[in-house]
Amino acid sequence: MLLYMSNGTEQEQSTPRHSVSVAGAVVRADGKLLMIRRRDNGRWEPPGGVLELEETVEAGVEREILEETGVSVEVERLTGVYKNMPRGIVALFFRCRPVEGEAAPTEESSQVTWMTPDEAATHMNEAYAVRVLDALDDSTGPHVRAHDGRVLV
């Protein structure tokens, strides 16, 4: 694999690069989850996005959820690590609790709503639904799973 350097030169790299995304299952006291319908593809997903180079993982989760929903959260714990095999994206998923703010659509989300776990699972493909269900599972440590963008592999 060739890596293009800022000075215009090429350098061989043997280690693949990965993108890291962060997202959260924001769980209200009544057990409902904060979900978004993405503007770019119309799919329902938990709020999240790509971690920026200069930010901590927890700060990235908090920023992404606020940007997509208008809700500030407190990150409670890591509940899963998921890899999209074809795209090389590693996703860190966290259980969070809402702190303040009203859920509302933003530039990144066309709809924002609170759903029961069953509602959330039926609105998403398997690769995203399992993250939410894993976040609600208090019986084990973080889950580690791989998927192809839609289903687990």
* % of the chain exceeding 90 in pLDDT: 82
Q: How confident is the model at residue 32 (pLDDT cuts 50, 70, 90)?
A: very high
- Based on C-alpha coordinates, what's the Rg of the chain? 16
**Full set of structural domains in the chain with CATH:** 21-138 (3.90.79.10)
Q: Phi and psi at residue 18, in whole multiples of 5°?
A: -120, 150
Q: Are 120 and 34 in contact (CB under 8 A)?
A: no
pTM: 0.87
CA 13 to chain centre: 28
User: What is the identity of the amino acid at 129?
Assistant: A
Q: What is the pLDDT of residue 140?
A: 79
Gap between the Cα atoms of 123 and 115, Å rounded: 10
Rounded CA separation 30/27 (Å): 8
Give pLDDT tens digits for 35-62: 999 999 999 999 999 999 899 999 999 9
C-alpha to C-alpha distance for 56 and 139, rounded to whole angstroms: 27
Examine the pLDDT at 7 and tell me if it is beyond 70.
Answer: no
